[in-house]
Amino acid sequence: MQIVKWLSLGSLALLHGVCWATPAQAQAGNAPQPAEADPSAITAANWYWGPANRWSWHNTRRIFPTDRVGRGDGPVAALAREERDLSGVTFTDPTTLKKLTVAAMLDATYTDGFLVLFHGKVVAESYRNGLTPDQPHLFMSMSKSVMGTLAGILVGEGKLDPGKLVTDYIPEMRQTLYDGATVRNLLDMSVDDPLARELSKTAEGTASEYEAVDEAGGWLPATPTSSPGLRAYLTGLRRPHGVDGKQFQYLDESAILIGWVMERAAQEELPALLSDRIWSKLGAEQDAYMLLDHYQQSYSSAGLNATLRDLGRFGVMMAENGVYNGHQIVPEAWVKDIRTNGVKGDSGLAVPVPWPGHAKGTYRSFWWNTEAKCGRFTAVGLGGQLLVVDPVADVVVVKFDSVPSPRLDDSVFATEYKGIDAVIKSVSGHGCS
Question: pLDDT tens string for the chain (433 positions)?
Answer: 333 343 433 333 322 223 333 444 434 333 334 556 789 999 999 999 999 999 999 999 999 999 999 999 999 999 999 999 999 999 999 999 999 999 999 999 999 999 999 999 999 999 999 999 999 999 999 999 999 999 999 999 999 999 999 999 999 999 999 999 999 999 999 998 887 777 766 655 555 567 889 999 999 999 999 999 999 999 999 988 777 677 788 899 999 999 999 999 999 999 999 999 999 999 999 999 999 999 999 999 999 999 999 999 999 999 999 999 999 999 999 999 999 887 544 555 556 665 666 667 889 999 999 887 888 999 999 999 999 999 999 999 999 999 998 888 888 999 999 999 999 999 999 888 7
User: What's the per-residue H, E or C state across the chain?
Assistant: CCCCCHHHHCCHHHHHCCCCCCHHHHHCCCCCCCCCCCHHHCCCCCCCCCCCHHHHCCCHHHCCCEEEECCCCCCCCCCCECCCCCCCCEEEECCCCEEEEHHHHHHHCCEEEEEEEECCEEEEEEECCCCCCCCCEECCCHHHHHHHHHHHHHHHCCCCCCCCEHHHHCHHHCCCCCCCCEHHHHHCCCCCCHHHHHHCCCHHHHHHHHHHHHHHHCCCCCCCCCCCCHHHHHHCCCCCCCCCCCCCCCCHHHHHHHHHHHHHHHCCCHHHHHHHHCHHHCCCCCCEEEEECCCCCECCCCCEEECHHHHHHHHHHHHCCCEECCEECCCHHHHHHHHHHHHHCCCCCCEECCCCCCCEEEEECCEEECCCCCCCEEEEECCCEEEEEECCCCEEEEEEECCCCHHHHHHHHHHHHHHHHHHHHHHHCCCCC
* pLDDT score, position 349: 54
Instruction: For residues 243 and 412, give the distance between their C-alpha atoms in angstroms, rounded to a whole number.
Output: 34
Q: Rounded CA gap, 330 and 252, in Å?
A: 24
At residue 242, the pLDDT reads 76
pTM assigned to the model: 0.91
Q: Torsions phi, psi of 364, nearest 5? A: -150, 125
- What's residue 47's pLDDT? 96
Contact assessment for residue 395 and residue 379, using Cβ atoms and an 8 Å cutoff: no
The radius of gyration of the chain's CA atoms, rounded to the nearest angstrom, is 20
The pLDDT value recorded for residue 192 is 85
> Quick one: pLDDT at residue 207?
54
Q: CB count, 10 Å around CB of 97?
A: 8
Query: So what's the pLDDT on residue 88?
Result: 97
Tell which residue, 385, 401, 397, 399, has the closest CA to residue 427: 397
**Cis amide leading into 51 (omega within 30):** yes
CATH code of the domain made up of 6-29+47-156+256-428: 3.40.710.10
pLDDT on residue 340: 87
Query: What does the angle CA 345 – CA 424 – CA 362 come to, to the nearest 5 degrees?
Result: 15
Domains in the chain: boundaries: 6-29+47-156+256-428
Q: Give the C-alpha separation, 194 to 208, whole Å.
A: 15
Angstrom distance (rounded) from CA 369 to CA 338:
8
Distances (CA, A) of 78 to 97, 145, 246: 40, 24, 44
Please count the other Cβ atoms lying within 10 Å of the Cβ belonging to residue 233: 20
